[in-house]
């Protein structure tokens, strides 16, 4: 309903596995890929339902690549990419797309920034030219910069300051990631956003926006043979550039468990959440397929262990579950969540969660449970293929965070090979470890005007 342009991807939510169903040897998306001489990777995801395409440009840069003290810069730059070039005046980008019957938007995560348009297939050259233009020729007027920074501060008010749960989530990320840049909110800390300058934005663009740091993904009624000459024509002339290294801490500080409690006058109901880090999909010490199966068994839906036990059987919670976000370049994240059902308290709920996890760690998972989870994850692949944009999103995100097209396409086979032993190995490593942050959000009595929400660790 509301036209929320310029989105922001906060962690989690997109729990779409990189999966796909369908018979033997079939690939998930049937994607084709090639790389231009200047290093731009081009990926095409065929989908011939209608004469339309979904066009995405992904940059391998996100909030975790910001210089210290400049949180929010990657996201602010995403907004500023709509503020014009020599040929396209500020604000015209989206209007040109709209005048051509298309929709456009963009989003920023910790590890990537992506721009996308959905439009008729014969407008592919237009959107490609527009994207190549703002990659090579971004211009920024100081006045536009100032106004847009104000817009981002309003965006922060909407997404964070007005939402107590989001305020707590920021504190959890700080405590979980400690020294790793995932600790910063993608939208940035208020004071740091206010201190960002036009020069910061242009320098960040120069350091990270280059064809050799980008992935062009086109899904829809096209083939690689049609897309490549266009990519060559519009992006080909842009030279490769030296791109700032993605320097991330090698490891997290020694494990610790932390609990953060927040009481806030605008919280109507208590809620529980807990975050665990897990090895990234590209990390050979991890096992993402088994992690996804574990997530499905423990907390994936109305028949999952957590929901069955806490919500249905014991009536301790009105909701309870678990999600797996496997998309981080450096780490995956697992999240537990729930709300107590009166007369039970937050502490009852946390105890019930812990008991359910202990039970799983002690007694294991059955072969039937694993088979059921594999079936569900595989079915989700068929659903992913049903939507035009999903294939482009899955592939773009995978490539921006260190995976390959081949790994995405082989997802059904990789998920089918998961065994109960592998599920238990990741369960012990992730849930049984000593690295976790728990958040407890409680209502606070309505406070006097001056009182700020309290947070203590």
Taking residues 275 to 314 in sequence order and writing x for each that binds other proteins by CB under 8 A, - otherwise, the string is: --------------------------xxx----x--xx--
Applying CB under 8 A, does 123 fall inside the site for other proteins?
yes
Output 41 or 94, the one with its CB closest to other proteins: 94
Q: How far apart are CA 180 and CA 251, in angstroms?
A: 8
Check: CB of residue 405 under 8 Å from CB of residue 399.
yes
Fill in the per-residue mask, 162 to 191: x = in contact with other proteins (CB under 8 A), - = not in contact.
Answer: x-----------------------------
- Residue 180: CB minimum distance to other proteins, A: 28
| Contact between 27 and other proteins per CB under 8 A | no
Which residues 423-452 are close enough to bind other proteins by CB under 8 A? 447, 449
Which residues are 441's β-sheet partners?
Answer: 262, 271
Q: Which of 142, 161, 417, 454 binds other proteins (CB under 8 A)?
A: 161
Q: Exactly one of 27, 32, 66, 78 is catalytic; name it.
A: 78
| Per-residue contact string for residues 214-253; x = within reach of other proteins by CB under 8 A | ----------------------------------------
Please report, for the chain, how many H helices and E strands are present, in that order: 16, 12
Kindly tell me which residue out of 94, 333, 403, 438 binds other proteins, with binding defined by CB under 8 A: 94
CA dihedral of residues 309, 315, 317, 318 (deg, nearest 10): 110
Closer residue to other proteins (CB): 65 or 148: 148
Which span sits near other proteins by CB under 8 A: 172-180, 245-253, 260-268, 425-433?
A: 260-268
Q: Count the residues in the chain.
A: 457
The least CB distance from residue 286 to other proteins, in Å, is 26
Question: Residue 261's beta-bridge partner residues?
Answer: 440, 456
**Binding segment (CB under 8 A) for other proteins, from list 59-67, 265-273, 353-361, 423-431:** 265-273
Distance CA 266, CA 113 (A): 32
Six-digit token pair at 38? 């200047």
Figure out which of the listed residues 48, 194, 257, 428 binds other proteins, where binding follows CB under 8 A.
48
265 binds other proteins (CB under 8 A): yes
State the DSSP string of 147-207: HHHHHHHHHHIIIIIT-HHHHHHHHHHHHHHTTSGGGS-TT--HHHHHH--HHHHHHHHHH
Separation CA 342–CA 316 (nearest Å): 8
CA distances to 123, 176, 295, 296, 400 from 415, in Å: 37, 28, 13, 12, 21
Q: Using CB under 8 A, which residues numbered 319 to 378 contact other proteins?
A: 319, 339, 341-342, 372, 375-376
The rounded distance, in Å, linking the Cα atoms of 374 and 418 is 8
Q: Answer yes or no: 66 catalytic.
A: no
CB-based contacts of 364, cutoff 8 Å, min separation 6:
420, 424
Stretch that binds other proteins, among 149-157, 193-201, 347-355, 432-440 (CB under 8 A): 149-157
Binding part of the chain for other proteins, among 92-100, 168-176, 194-202, 280-288 by CB under 8 A, reads 92-100
Q: Any idea which residues carry the catalytic annotation?
A: 78
């Amino acid at each position: 309903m509301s036209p929320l342009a310029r989105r922001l991807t906060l962690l989690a939510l997109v729990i779409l596995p990189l999966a796909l169903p369908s018979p033997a040897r079939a690939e998930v998306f049937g994607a084709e890929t090639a790389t231009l001489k200047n290093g731009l990777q081009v990926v095409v995801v065929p989908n011939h339902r209608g004469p339309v395409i979904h066009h995405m440009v992904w940059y391998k840069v996100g909030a975790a690549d910001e210089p210290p003290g400049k949180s929010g810069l990657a996201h602010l730059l995403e907004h500023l990419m709509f503020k014009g070039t020599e040929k396209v005046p500020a604000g015209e980008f989206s209007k040109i797309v709209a005048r051509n019957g298309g929709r456009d938007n963009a989003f920023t995560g910790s590890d990537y920034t992506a721009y996308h348009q959905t439009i008729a297939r014969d407008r592919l050259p237009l959107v490609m030219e527009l994207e190549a233009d703002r990659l090579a020729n971004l211009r920024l007027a100081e006045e536009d910069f100032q106004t847009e920074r104000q817009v981002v501060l309003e965006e922060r008010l909407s997404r964070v300051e007005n939402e107590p749960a989001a305020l707590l989530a920021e504190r959890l990320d700080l405590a979980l990631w400690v020294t790793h840049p995932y600790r910063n909110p993608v939208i940035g800390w208020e004071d740091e956003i206010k201190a960002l300058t036009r020069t910061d934005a242009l320098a960040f663009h120069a350091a990270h926006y280059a064809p050799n740091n980008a992935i062009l993904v086109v899904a829809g009624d096209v083939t690689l043979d049609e897309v490549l000459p266009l990519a060559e024509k519009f992006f080909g002339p842009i030279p490769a550039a030296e791109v700032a290294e993605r320097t991330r801490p090698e490891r997290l500080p020694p494990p610790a468990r932390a609990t953060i409690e927040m009481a806030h006058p605008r919280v109507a109901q208590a809620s529980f959440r807990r975050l665990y880090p897990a090895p990234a999909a590209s990390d050979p010490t991890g096992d993402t397929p088994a992690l996804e199966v574990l997530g499905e068994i423990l907390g994936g839906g109305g028949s999952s262990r957590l929901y069955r036990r806490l919500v249905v059987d014991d009536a301790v919670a009105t909701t309870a579950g678990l999600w797996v976000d496997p998309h981080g370049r450096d780490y995956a994240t697992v999240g537990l969540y729930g709300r107590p059902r009166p007369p039970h308290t937050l502490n009852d709920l946390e105890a019930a969660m812990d008991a359910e996890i202990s039970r799983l760690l002690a007694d294991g998972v059955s072969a039937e449970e694993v088979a059921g989870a594999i079936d569900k994850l595989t079915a989700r692949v068929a659903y992913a293929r049903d939507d035009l944009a999903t294939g482009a999103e899955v592939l773009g995100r995978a490539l921006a965070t260190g995976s390959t097209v081949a790994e995405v396409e082989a997802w059904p086979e990789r998920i089918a090979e998961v065994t109960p032993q592998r599920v238990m190995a990741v369960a012990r490593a992730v849930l049984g470890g000593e690295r976790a942050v728990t958040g407890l959000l409680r209502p606070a009595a309505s406070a006097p005007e001056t009182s700020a929400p309290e947070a203590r660790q």
